[in-house]
C-alpha cells in the first residue's frame, strides 16, 4: 500500500504524517481514492487491509530475529537464490526496546559473522576480571566464581547497540526492516495454519473510535513466520493457546531486571570488570542479585534482577535496586557520577524444562519468546542468536518447494543436536533449586555442577510465578528508605531517563479482564502488589481525601514494556497488548 499526498508518494513503511491540506490520497492495488478527513472514519471502517507477500516474515528486531534474517540471506546467497525476508520491530528503531546487562559470549556471533571484528561490531570491552560477592547489610566478602560465570573471552556490551549493528548487517544483505510497526495480530489461512501477521491500526482514539489520523494496518503474509518477540511475547501467548505449545512443559518462570547506565569518575573506572553479588538487600527466601559492568568511556552498567516467584507482596524490585546502590561496597562507584539511562525488562528463567514446542503449521518461535536464557551464566544472547540461525537453516532447506502451512519440524531436531540444547540441559536443575532459598540453592548448584557435572538422574520442576504470593497479612512489611536523589531515585525521574513515550490518544494497552478484581481481590488480599512490582509507576491506588473509594489508576504512558504485570498479577487479570508502533521506551546504549 502507498499513500500519496498530491504528487508526493511515500511508502507506508516510512510511518510519516500523511495528512496534507485536510485531504488524504490512499492508493491500493485497484484504485486511488481521494478522501476528505471528515470521511476517513467511514472509509476506514470498510477498507480492507493491504497485503504484502514475502517468503519469511520475522516479528521482532532483537538478536534472535536479526540472526535468523541474516542467516536466511546468507543461505540464499550461497545457493544463488533470491528470497524476500521482512522483519518488523515495534520500537521506534532497531535497539530502542533492547535492554540487557550485558556480557556477550561471542560463540554464535563467530558462527554467524566470523569477520565481525573487521566489520566493526561494537564489542570493544573484553572482560578482564570477574568478581562474585556476598553482601550483608554493612559488609561484603568474595565468593568463588562459579564456572558458569567465568567470562574469559566474553565482552561487556550495549545489547541495544549490538542489535543496531546486526540490523545494519541484515539490511546490507537485503533484509527489509520496518521499525515503528507493531505486530498486533496473527494471520491464519483456511486450514488454520499461520500465514503472516497484521500490523496494528494507527489513529484509534481512547474511545475506540477512529480519529482523523486513522490508518489501517498492513497484512504481511509469508510462507513462514518467525516469532522473535522477546520475553513474554504477546502474540506468542496466543500461539501457545491455539497450538497447545506448552502441553507437557513446565510453566515458564521469570525475573525482572532493572538497569541504569552511569557516567562515573574516570579514576573509578575499571573497564572489563564484571562484578556480581547475591545477598543483601534481598532476604534469603527471594532469588536475585546484582551486576556492575565497567565499560570503556568511564561508564558503568548497574542492574538488579529479582525472581518473580517471590512470595512477599510488599516487596518492590525497583526499591530493592535503589537500596542496593547505597551499600558501602557499591555506593562509592557512583559518588561523583551521573545517571544517564534507566530501563527494565522481564527475562525468562525456566530454562530447559520450560522450553515449549517450538514449531507449528506456518512458523516457529526463536529467542526469548521461547525461553533459551542460561540462568547460571546470566546470558541469553548467544543462545537466542543460535536459535534464530538454526530456525533459518531449517526453513531454508524446504522453502523453495514449501507448501502452505508447512511446519518446520527439523528446527527442533537441529536445535536438539546443537550445543545450545546440551548447554541448557546441563544447568536445568540450578535455578529451580533456589525455590527453597539462597543457601539450599547454592548447595544444590554446587552438587549439580561439581558432583553430577549437570547430568543428575533427575530434573527439578518449576511453578508459575503468579501463584506464589502470600497474603499481605501473612508477610512482613518492608520499610524502604526515601531516595536521596544522588545515588537512589524515584520511579518518575527514572522513567524520564528511559525516553518512554506513547501516543496519548489511543486505547489502553494495559487491559483488565475484570475491572473489579484490582480492588476486590488484589487490594483486599495482597495490598495491590501491582503498585510495587511495576518499575515504572504505571499502577496506582487512588482514593478520596478521606481515604475512601479506592480505585486503580493505570498510567499507561509510563509503561516501559517490561511485561512484569502480565506475569506477576496474582489473578492474571492484567493483559498486556501492543500499543501503536513506535511507542514505549527509546533506550540509548542499553
Task: Give the residue numbers marked as catalytic.
Answer: 100, 345, 381, 534, 559, 562, 565
Please name the residue ranges forming H helices in 252-366: 317-324, 328-334
Q: Cβ atoms within 10 A of the Cβ of 314, count? A: 16
Q: In this structure, are residues 3 and 18 in contact, taking their beta carbons and an 8 Å threshold?
A: yes
How many Cα neighbours within 13 Å face the side chain of 395?
35
Residue 563 · residue 346 · CB < 8 Å: yes
* Number of Cβ within a 10 Å radius of residue 480: 17
Is omega for the bond preceding 102 within 30 degrees of 0, making it cis? Answer: yes
Q: Cα–Cα–Cα angle for 206, 212, 217, nearest 5°? A: 75
Verify cis geometry, omega within 30 degrees of 0, for the bond prior to 392.
no
How far is the C-alpha of 158 from the C-alpha of 495, rounded, in Å?
19
Contact 553, 543 (CB under 8 A): no
Residue 249 corresponds to which cell in the numbers above? Answer: 512443559
Element (H, E) at 425: helix 419-426
Closest CA to 403 of 239, 189, 197: 189
Phi-psi region of 232 (alpha: psi -120 to 50; beta: other; left: phi over 0): left
The CA–CA distances, whole Å, from 254 to 349, 354, 432 equal: 5, 11, 11
Specify whether the backbone of 472 is left (phi greater than 0), alpha (psi in -120 to 50) or beta.
alpha
- How would you label 443-454 residue by residue, b for 16+ Cβ within 10 Å and e otherwise? ebbeebbeeeeb
The alpha carbon of 488 is separated from its chain's Cα centroid by a whole number of angstroms, namely 25
- b (16+ CB within 10 A) / e for 227-257: bbbbbbbbbbbebbeebebbeebbbbbbbbb
**Among the listed residues 293, 259, 289, 296, the one whose alpha carbon sits nearest the alpha carbon of residue 273:** 293
Nearest to 563 by CA among 585, 541, 587, 588: 585
Cα–Cα nearest to 567, from 254, 314, 271: 254
Amino acid at each position: 500500500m502507498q499513500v500519496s499526498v498530491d504528487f508526493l508518494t511515500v511508502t507506508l513503511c516510512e510511518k510519516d504524517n500523511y495528512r496534507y491540506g485536510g485531504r488524504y490520497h490512499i492508493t491500493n492495488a485497484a484504485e486511488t481514492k481521494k478522501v476528505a478527513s471528515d470521511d476517513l472514519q467511514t472509509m476506514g471502517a470498510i477498507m480492507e487491509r493491504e497485503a504484502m507477500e514475502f517468503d519469511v516474515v520475522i516479528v521482532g528486531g532483537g538478536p534472535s530475529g536479526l540472526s535468523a534474517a541474516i542467516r536466511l540471506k546468507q543461505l540464499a546467497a550461497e545457493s544463488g537464490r533470491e528470497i524476500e525476508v521482512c522483519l518488523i520491530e515495534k520500537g521506534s528503531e532497531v535497539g530502542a526496546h533492547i535492554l540487557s546487562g550485558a556480557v556477550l559470549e561471542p560463540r554464535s556471533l563467530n558462527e554467524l559473522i566470523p569477520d565481525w571484528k573487521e566489520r566493526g561490531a561494537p564489542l570493544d570491552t573484553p572482560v578482564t576480571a570477574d568478581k562474585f560477592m556476598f553482601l550483608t547489610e554493612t559488609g561484603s566478602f568474595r565468593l568463588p566464581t562459579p564456572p558458569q560465570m567465568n567470562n574469559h573471552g566474553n565482552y561487556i556490551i550495549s545489547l541495544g547497540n549490538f542489535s543496531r549493528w546486526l540490523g545494519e548487517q541484515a539490511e546490507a544483505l537485503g533484509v527489509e526492516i520496518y521499525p515503528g510497526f507493531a505486530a498486533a495480530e496473527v494471520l491464519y489461512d483456511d486450514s488454520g495454519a499461520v500465514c503472516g501477521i497484521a500490523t496494528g491500526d494507527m489513529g484509534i482514539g481512547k474511545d475506540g473510535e477512529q480519529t482523523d489520523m486513522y490508518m489501517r494496518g498492513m497484512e504481511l503474509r509469508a510462507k513462514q513466520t518467525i516469532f522473535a518477540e522477546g520475553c513474554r511475547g504477546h502474540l506468542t501467548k496466543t500461539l501457545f493457546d491455539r497450538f497447545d505449545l506448552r502441553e507437557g512443559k513446565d510453566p515458564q518462570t521469570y525475573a525482572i531486571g532493572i538497569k541504569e547506565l552511569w557516567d562515573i569518575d574516570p579514576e573509578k573506572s575499571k573497564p572489563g570488570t564484571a562484578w556480581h553479588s547475591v545477598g543483601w538487600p534481598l532476604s534469603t527466601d527471594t532469588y536475585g542479585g546484582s551486576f556492575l559492568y565497567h565499560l570503556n568511556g568511564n561508564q558503568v552498567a548497574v542492574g538488579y534482577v529479582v525472581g518473580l516467584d517471590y512470595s512477599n507482596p510488599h516487596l518492590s524490585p525497583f526499591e530493592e535496586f535503589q537500596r542496593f546502590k547505597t551499600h558501602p561496597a557499591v555506593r562509592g562507584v557512583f559518588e561523583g557520577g551521573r545517571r544517564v539511562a534507566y530501563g527494565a525488562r522481564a527475562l525468562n528463567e525456566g530454562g530447559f524444562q520450560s522450553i515449549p514446542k517450538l514449531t507449528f503449521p506456518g512458523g516457529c518461535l526463536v529467542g526469548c519468546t521461547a525461553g533459551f536464557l542460561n540462568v547460571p551464566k546470566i546470558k541469553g544472547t548467544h543462545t537466542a542468536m543460535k536459535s534464530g540461525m538454526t530456525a533459518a537453516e531449517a526453513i531454508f532447506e524446504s522453502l523453495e518447494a514449501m507448501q502452505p502451512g508447512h511446519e518446520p519440524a527439523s528446527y527442533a531436531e537441529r536445535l536438539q543436536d546443537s550445543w545450545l540444547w546440551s548447554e541448557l540441559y546441563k544447568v536445568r536443575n540450578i535455578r529451580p533449586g533456589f525455590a527453597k532459598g539462597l543457601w539450599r540453592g547454592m548447595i544444590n548448584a554446587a552438587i549439580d555442577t561439581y558432583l553430577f557435572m549437570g547430568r543428575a538422574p533427575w530434573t527439578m520442576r518449576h511453578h508459575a510465578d503468579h501463584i506464589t504470593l502470600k497474603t499481605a497479612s501473612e508477610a512482613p512489611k518492608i520499610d524502604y528508605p526515601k531516595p536521596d536523589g544522588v545515588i537512589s531515585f524515584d520511579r518518575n525521574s527514572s522513567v524520564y531517563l528511559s525516553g518512554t513515550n506513547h501516543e496519548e490518544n489511543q486505547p489502553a494497552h494495559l487491559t483488565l479482564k475484570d475491572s473489579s478484581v484490582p480492588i476486590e481481590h488484589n487490594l483486599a488480599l495482597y495490598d495491590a502488589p501491582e503498585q510495587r512490582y511495576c518499575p515504572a509507576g504505571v499502577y496506582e491506588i487512588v482514593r478520596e481525601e478521606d481515604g475512601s473509594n479506592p480505585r486503580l489508576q493505570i498510567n499507561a504512558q509510563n509503561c516501559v514494556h517490561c511485561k512484569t504485570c502480565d506475569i506477576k498479577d496474582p489473578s492474571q487479570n492484567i493483559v498486556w497488548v501492543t500499543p501503536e508502533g513506535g511507542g514505549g521506551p527509546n533506550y540509548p546504549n542499553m
